[in-house]
């Protein structure tokens, strides 16, 4: 499962907060799984740890987001890939 698949796997019947938590957890699982498949073990070990939910929520608050906007931010971030990483890997979307 890759990042683009996450959006389609979120249970839309859940409240927004739960959808955000579900997508955040899936995104971090994808990141950790991808690192286990990296052939360059040194590079995999050198990567920073995935951000915590607290880090992401703090960033949302610093941007002035509150209430459901915070959870939309968390969910949105979990369902987008990083354009810089995509470019470095030669991926196009």
Looking at the predicted structure, is the pLDDT value of residue 2 above 90? no
pLDDT digit string, tens, across residues 8-56:
899 999 999 999 999 999 999 998 998 899 899 998 899 889 999 999 9
How far is residue 85's CA from residue 8's CA, in Å, rounded to a whole number?
22
Higher per-residue pLDDT: 4 or 77:
77
How far is residue 48's CA from residue 20's CA, in Å, rounded to a whole number?
22
pTM flag (> 0.85): no
**pLDDT value at position 79?**
84
pLDDT digit string, tens, across residues 74-91:
999 998 877 776 676 676
């Amino acid at each position: 499962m890759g990042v683009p698949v996450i959006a389609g796997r979120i249970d839309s019947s859940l409240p927004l907060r739960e959808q955000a938590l579900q997508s955040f957890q899936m995104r971090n699982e994808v990141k950790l799984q991808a690192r286990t498949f990296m052939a360059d073990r040194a590079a995999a070990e050198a990567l920073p740890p995935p951000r915590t939910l607290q880090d992401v929520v703090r960033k949302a608050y610093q941007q002035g987001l509150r209430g459901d906007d915070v959870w939309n931010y968390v969910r949105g971030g979990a369902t987008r890939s990083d354009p810089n990483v995509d470019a470095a890997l030669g991926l196009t979307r």
